[in-house]
Amino acid sequence: MKLLHIDSSILGDSSASRQVSAAAVAQFRKKDPSVEVISLDLASDPLPHLDVEALSWLGKELTPDVSARPELVASAKALSDFKAADIVVIGVPMYNLSIPSQLKSWIDRIMVAGQTFRYGPSGIEGLAKGKTVVLAVARGGLYGEGSPAASFEHQLSYLKSVFTMIGITDITVIEAEGLATNGGADRARILSDAEQKASAL
């Protein structure tokens, strides 16, 4: 069993999404001590924005000259690690109504035609079926269904679309929402509730 653990918050130890994603990974390790965990910190080790050259090598065998270029090797590894993973746990803060740009760069490496999806006669077909995805989502405000700001939410809705498109239906969401409301007075309780949900995976 392979687990890919991704964090994307720039806040380090102060990050709520990192705290919740770590709790989720700890629970998977508790359930199966033999699980192999591959960690990727997109804040400290970011992927560059996708360009034509990086896109042209995704899913292909790297030639010796390309293998000498760290950014192209990192792109290829991001795709191969994702394809090899049985479980993917992602810490996702909300930045300006959406996801961090660092996480978007990673998504651009895994959404590759012919690798994780393909265009068939009936439309798009996902090729990454059978994986489990856990999204540890953190938000300062309230953007859930029925809230006044629900239409501004482009974080969780986007990620669900991404993973559904490539064939993943086993998606669990653990939300720590409203962390900055009431001056942050409820932050500790909200985080504790989210960690408890992670511990029940």
Does the predicted TM-score (pTM) go above 0.85?
yes
User: What pLDDT is stored for residue 84 in this prediction?
Assistant: 97
> DSSP code of 155?
S
Cα–Cα distances in angstroms (integers) from residue 38 to residues 82, 94, 118, 158, in the given order: 10, 23, 26, 24
Question: Within a 10 A sphere around the Cβ of 165, how many other Cβ atoms?
Answer: 15
Task: Report d(CA 120, CA 108) in Å as an integer.
Answer: 21
Provide block-wise average pLDDT over 10 residues at a time, the chain (201 residues).
98 96 98 98 95 82 77 90 98 97 97 94 95 98 91 96 98 96 94 96 96
Q: How many CA atoms lie within 13 A of 4 on its CB side?
A: 22
Rg of the chain taking only CA atoms, in angstroms:
17
